[in-house]
Amino acid sequence: MRLGLRTVALLGVAVLAFALGHDSHARTAAPAAHPAGSGGGGAPGQTAPARHRHGRHRVDAIDRAIRDNDYVARGTPHRKEVALTFDDGPGPQTRPLVRWLHAHGVPATFFVIGRNAAADPAAVRLEARDGFAIGDHTQSHAMLGILASSAQSAEIDQAAHVLHQITGRHIRLFRPPYGSFNATTLQLLRSDRILMVLWSIDTKDYTRPGVQRIVYTALSGARAGSILLMHDGGGPRDETVAAVPKIVHRLRLKGYRMVTVPQLLAADPPPRNQPPPHSLSGG
């Protein structure tokens, strides 16, 4: 009788061990949820599993950049990569721009105003669905450098909340409107583990200088690791939409690869301890 009970007990332990091992394997093998703030990871058009595989690296790259620096304004010059970034959307030209970028396999990063996102969440979902990176551009396009800490915090947090509600992503990138910020801004971003993204080329497309001028400014300033500032909202952006295909075509002819900001950081991280950032003028 004792032998029989012992045999049953051992059999029960074996079954339990198998079940636990199978459950652990199932959890390990299951696809990861969309990484917070990854911006989708891969180039537009990739399948969801590929985005998930690469997304973790993008999040890690943002974490490394935040650990080493308060901001990024360009990548390092080791790879011929350029990050196209668009501010102030969504606007009327956002959809045609996103569709063109997606159709031609061009990754990009959109810095979105919270109130514009709330007014047109479908456009933001289109950006998120197509795998672009999305960043915070404040709730109301405020000039943060002249605001008190509480007002700055509200501008950043409200936009991040709106974007999270729409996309399900925890926003990890931020661009200050007008390039206006101060030590308080950096402290707030650091506490929230958000990276400030500036730029190395301002196309000044918000002044509506004409398509050829936008193209010339982008191409004449482009270097390996450049971050280009353009706009998809905040006013008529038909010139920008017309300029982007020309910019992309000529950059590709020169051997450049277009990437999102997280991709730029992952492929070629900026050096540690860069000089302190200074407020910039821009749109």
Active site residue ranges: 87, 231
Query: CA–CA separation, 268 vs 77, rounded Å?
Result: 8
Identify which of 42, 57, 104, 40 has the alpha carbon closest to the alpha carbon of residue 268: 57
36 SS3 class: coil
Query: CA–CA separation, 53 vs 20, rounded Å?
Result: 26
Main-chain phi, psi angles of 73, to 5 degrees? -120, -15
Q: Are 231 and 203 in contact (CB under 8 A)?
A: no
What are the structure tokens assigned to 186, written together? 């950096």
Query: CA–CA separation, 271 vs 259, rounded Å?
Result: 19
Query: CA–CA separation, 273 vs 223, rounded Å?
Result: 21
The rounded radius of gyration (Å) of the Cα atoms in the chain is 22
What are the structure tokens assigned to 11, written together? 């059999």
What are the structure tokens assigned to 163, written together? 């974007």
Identify which of 138, 116, 127 has the alpha carbon closest to the alpha carbon of residue 39: 127
Q: Are 38 and 56 in contact (CB under 8 A)?
A: yes
Q: Transcribe 142-169 into DSSP letters.
A: --GGGS-HHHHHHHHHHHHHHHHHHH-P
Identify which of 135, 133, 179, 183 has the alpha carbon closest to the alpha carbon of residue 156: 135
